[in-house]
Amino acid sequence: MRKLLRFSKELVATKAKLTTEQYDALLEIKGSSGANGVTVGEISEQLQVKHHTAVSLLDRLEARKLATRKRATADKRNVNVQLTKTGASLLARLAAIHHRELQQRTPEIIDALRRLRE
């Protein structure tokens, strides 16, 4: 499992040039997006970071055109965040690489889990 986690961190850092936190934010946006996106507050809550930290992460993602922010129409206090096509495409490429790596490591992971159960 540690090998898989290390692979993931290295992949995100080298291929995508993202920090782990930025990648987590993209995953949260992708996983939680409703029709209007996800709010900055929801991202902050899900990532368990302070609001200003979430804002800083989103600043960097927006600068790279991976996510966009738009003030909510119903409640102007809320800011909705959505993935851009570029952000969605990057996540899809990373997911495909992760999937291949997971398939290759499946026997190793199953063996480790069996040893834990014994």
Bridge partners of 81? Answer: 38, 69
What is the distance between the alpha carbons of residues 85 and 52, in angstroms, rounded to a whole number? 25
> So where are the chain's domains?
2-117
Dmax (CA) for the chain in angstroms is 56
What is the distance between the alpha carbons of residues 87 and 84, in angstroms, rounded to a whole number? 5
What is the residue-level pLDDT of the chain in tens, covering all 118 positions? 788 888 888 989 998 999 999 999 999 999 986 778 898 999 999 999 999 999 999 999 999 999 999 987 777 788 899 999 999 999 999 999 999 998 998 888 889 889 988 8
Fold topology of 2-117: Arc Repressor Mutant, subunit A (1.10.10)
What is the distance between the alpha carbons of residues 41 and 44, in angstroms, rounded to a whole number? 5
- Phi/psi region, residue 107 (left: phi>0; alpha: psi -120 to 50; beta: rest), is alpha
Please check whether residue 81 is in contact with residue 40, taking contact to mean a CB–CB distance below 8 angstroms.
yes
What is the distance between the alpha carbons of residues 31 and 3, in angstroms, rounded to a whole number? 25
